[in-house]
Amino acid sequence: MKYDVFLFDLDDTLMDFGETEKNAFTNVFTTHGFPNALADYRGTYRAVSTVLWEDLEQGRTTLADLKTERFRRVFLEHGLKMDAETFGQMYLDYLGKEVHLIDGVTTMLQSLKGKRIAVLTNGFKDVQLARIAASGLTETFEAIFTSEEIGFQKPQPEIFEHVFKQLAIKDKSRVLMVGDSLSSDIRGGNNFGIDTCWYNPKRKENSGLAKPTYEIHDWEEFQSIITQTTASS
């Protein structure tokens, strides 16, 4: 096999974050007496959250600020007098209880048995560790790296440097970064000089800002690529 080390993104790569977010969002607002939050506030929240995550990737904000700021902006937009800090922490608590593995992930990971597999995620450490533990996959991974713990986030090269140092990786050509985000996973891999695989189940158009080595639409395709690289290596 051409690759010895596989670095996987978590959200919307191994786990369905849309479902996770929807459920956590509903639960935290319902707890505070807003049972219609999905219809009333989620559109605003997702727009705000998208902007803030982009800011995070570009180093313009931090995870600590993002946790509170996304709800502060929603409350401001809708005239809600709520404590954004308390709300933000409760939302993370609910996120950590949600586990929705994407179809085919378990079989795909089993097919890589004997290889070095790690998670590299732009996310909150406690939330991501809790979700992975609840999925029963913790022992599958040699390591789980979160941007909160490292202090840098994809696509910044420093986060990849940290991972390579911790895993004692010497040969970049033997590493494959796998993820759904062109702006963080694929661009990060491009900038660091490692091969990448874009998980693109919705068949989004590539804007051209990042160049994946491979593009897949489901995990069966991924296994096919791995088989092909094994045969040619």
Instruction: Specify whether 49 is located in the same domain as 24.
Output: yes
Instruction: Specify whether 59 is located in the same domain as 70.
Output: yes
The domain total for the chain is 2
Instruction: Identify the pLDDT of residue 208.
Output: 82
Token pair belonging to 38:
């999905």
Q: Give the active site residue among 4, 9, 12, 180.
A: 9
**Residue 228 is part of which domain span?**
5-16+101-232
Instruction: Specify whether 87 is located in the same domain as 127.
Output: no
155 preceded by a cis bond (ω within 30 of 0): yes
| 55 is an active site residue | no
Instruction: Specify whether 145 is located in the same domain as 44.
Output: no
CB 144 within 8 A of CB 109: no
Instruction: Specify whether 36 is located in the same domain as 120.
Output: no
pTM value?
0.94
Instruction: Specify whether 72 is located in the same domain as 89.
Output: yes
Instruction: Specify whether 85 is located in the same domain as 158.
Output: no
Task: Please list the rounded mean pLDDT of every run of 10 residues in the chain (233 residues).
Answer: 94 97 96 93 96 94 96 97 96 97 97 97 97 97 98 97 99 98 98 98 92 98 87 57
Instruction: Identify the pLDDT of residue 165.
Output: 99
Residue 112: which CATH number? 3.40.50.1000
| 9 is an active site residue | yes
Q: Give the active site residue among 11, 16, 185, 195.
A: 11
Instruction: Specify whether 55 is located in the same domain as 66.
Output: yes
Instruction: Specify whether 117 is located in the same domain as 209.
Output: yes
User: What is the DSSP code (8-state) at residue 3?
Assistant: -
- The C-alpha atoms of residue 21 and residue 2 are separated, in whole angstroms, by 36
Instruction: Identify the pLDDT of residue 230.
Output: 66
Instruction: Identify the pLDDT of residue 233.
Output: 55
Instruction: Identify the pLDDT of residue 25.
Output: 96
Instruction: Identify the pLDDT of residue 207.
Output: 84
